[in-house]
């Protein structure tokens, strides 16, 4: 006979936090959102932690190398999407590691024979106006000059004009030699009143740019997540099909952490993928797994050797798995049960395996609820898809600027490696589990994320806590009725104005 749960599963919107005592030191500036992302033994420190409890979803419309740099600046981690060739995913990882927290490998490069039209195309594609001019048009060719928006005017220079006719040649550039420290580079920028400093090798090959604006961003982002060589931390998604080729390539590209991207994690294929990593690399390569929604699924992946476990099936805004297959669980209930299983496993084995709440986040406060219920961090898709740094295009729909956002289970993504168990990797999906959609364009990531984190820190203070572990220990949560939800918003009034501050979600 089938097993039936006594209680219905619940979503985050069905819960509220009850305030706790707020003492004199309980202010947002004192709140730490640091959290582990990989397993560790009792009494030890995790080998990898984040400074904010947020990672970006393993999705084509969300997580490219630009998002990885932007989110690492804020203290979180991006998992580069795996629904692409092994070579291109590894190249994205390398691009992030090459960034070196201030030394930026140029993504837009031309030869002197290119035209202004090519410059404009690159500006449209990469959303910036600084272009390196090299002998072969590659990021590391012989540097011949540079083009910025100061070098041309569309009223004065025809679009077919060659770059050689309007670029700033290297003879007129202030450059630095490879090996210069970041502080020395910034000193040169200030001394010569530069916006951009090209760095070259002793024989003149292009290495990177250093930008004045990055100095300001570094000062504004004290939570930057960096490795021992002061490079940004970056993750990468893998699947359970070509892992024997993809994982070594990503390890060679120096990805800091991997995650199996799958619609359902309680499978022999995930176990085999984890075993491959452990047999080949031991514990030196970190890999998360999932997704699961109950204690049995968590236990299976923890015992298989996963470094963290993702929780959630069917709760994403573009996911239709529940209505397509009848599989899934309310996200709040799933997190609560898996967190309890995580704590039990820790008590039994002395190994703490972090859990990630993936899906079901509609409002900013849902992040805090997920953390209170036991999640160590949250994976977000729709939230990050809205920003300039996501890989998708900005489009205009009914007069409003939007960004394209599609699920990995959609016909557009055709992610057979994630959803098509039993099918050839060359097949198309026999049915879809995701939709193709739009989300409101929200500009650059920093400003909106700043508001979201402020809300989380203020809520921690309302609960009388200063850290995620303390929240999980002291939080008091209550289920709410439908009329409580109505009461919680503006009601019985005619609202005359919208809020005059960013709303985060």
Query: Annotated active-site positions, please?
Result: 319, 418
**b or e along 336-372 (b: 16 or more beta carbons within 10 Å of the residue's beta carbon)?**
bbbbebbeebbeeeeebbbbbbbbbbeebbbbbbbbb
DSSP of 374-431, one letter per residue? T-SEEEESHHHHTSTTSSSPEEEETTEEEEEEE-TTSTTT--HHHH-TTS-TTSPPSS
**b or e along 30-47 (b: 16 or more beta carbons within 10 Å of the residue's beta carbon)?**
ebebebbbbbbeeeeebb
User: How far is the CA of 148 from the CAs of 116, 173, 188, 195, 209, in angstroms?
Assistant: 11, 12, 19, 10, 12
In a 10 Å sphere around its CB, with 0-12 CB exposed, 13-18 middle and 19+ buried, how is residue 54 labelled? Answer: buried
Rounded distance, CA 179 to CA 134, Å?
Answer: 20
* Sequence-ordered list of residues with C-beta below 8 angstroms from that of 476, at least 6 positions apart, any chain: 17, 18, 20, 463
Instruction: Enter the DSSP assignment of 51.
Output: S
């Amino acid at each position: 006979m089938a097993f039936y749960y006594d209680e219905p599963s619940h979503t985050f919107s069905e819960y509220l936090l009850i305030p706790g005592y707020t003492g004199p030191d309980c202010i947002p500036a004192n709140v730490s959102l640091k959290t582990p992302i990989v397993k560790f033994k009792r009494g030890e420190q995790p080998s990898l932690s984040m400074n904010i409890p947020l990672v970006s979803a393993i999705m084509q419309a969300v997580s490219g190398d630009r998002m990885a740099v932007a989110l690492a600046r804020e203290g979180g981690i991006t998992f580069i999407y795996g629904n692409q060739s092994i070579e291109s995913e590894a190249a994205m990882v390398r691009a992030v590691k090459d960034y070196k927290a201030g030394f930026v490998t140029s993504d837009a490069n031309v030869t002197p024979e290119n035209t202004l039209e090519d410059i404009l195309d690159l500006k449209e594609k990469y959303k910036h106006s600084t272009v390196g001019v090299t002998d072969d048009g590659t990021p590391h060719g012989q540097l011949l000059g540079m083009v910025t928006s100061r070098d041309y005017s569309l009223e004065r220079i025809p679009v077919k004009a060659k770059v050689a006719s309007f670029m700033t040649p290297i003879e007129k550039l202030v450059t630095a030699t490879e090996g210069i420290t970041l502080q020395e580079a910034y000193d040169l920028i200030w001394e010569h009143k530069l916006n951009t400093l090209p760095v070259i090798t002793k024989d003149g090959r292009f290495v990177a740019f250093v930008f004045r604006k990055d100095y300001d961003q570094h000062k504004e982002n004290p939570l930057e997540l960096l490795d021992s060589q002061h490079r940004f931390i970056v993750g990468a998604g893998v699947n359970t099909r070509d892992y024997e080729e993809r994982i070594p390539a990503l390890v060679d590209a120096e990805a800091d952490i991997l995650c199996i991207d799958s619609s359902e994690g309680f499978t022999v294929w995930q176990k085999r993928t984890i075993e491959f990593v452990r047999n080949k690399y031991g514990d030196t390569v970190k890999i998360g797994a999932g997704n699961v929604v109950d204690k049995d699924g968590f236990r299976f992946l923890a015992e298989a050797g996963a470094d963290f476990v993702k929780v959630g099936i069917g709760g994403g805004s573009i996911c239709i798995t529940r209505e397509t297959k009848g599989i899934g669980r309310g996200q709040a209930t799933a997190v609560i049960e898996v967190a309890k299983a995580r704590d039990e496993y820790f008590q039994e084995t002395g190994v703490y395996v972090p859990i990630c709440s993936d899906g079901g986040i509609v409002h900013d406060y849902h992040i805090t609820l997920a953390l209170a219920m036991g999640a160590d961090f949250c994976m977000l898709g729709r939230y990050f898809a809205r920003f300039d740094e996501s890989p998708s295009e900005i489009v205009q729909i009914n007069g409003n600027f939007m960004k394209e956002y599609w699920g990995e289970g959609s016909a557009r993504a055709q992610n057979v490696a994630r959803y098509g168990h039993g099918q050839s990797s060359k097949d198309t999906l026999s049915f879809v589990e995701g939709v193709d959609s739009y989300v409101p364009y929200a500009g650059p990531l920093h400003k909106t994320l700043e508001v979201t984190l402020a809300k989380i820190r203020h809520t921690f203070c309302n609960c009388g806590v200063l850290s995620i572990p303390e929240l999980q220990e002291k939080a008091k949560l209550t289920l709410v009725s439908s009329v409580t939800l109505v009461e919680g918003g503006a009601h019985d009034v005619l609202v005359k104005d919208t809020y005059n501050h960013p709303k985060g979600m």
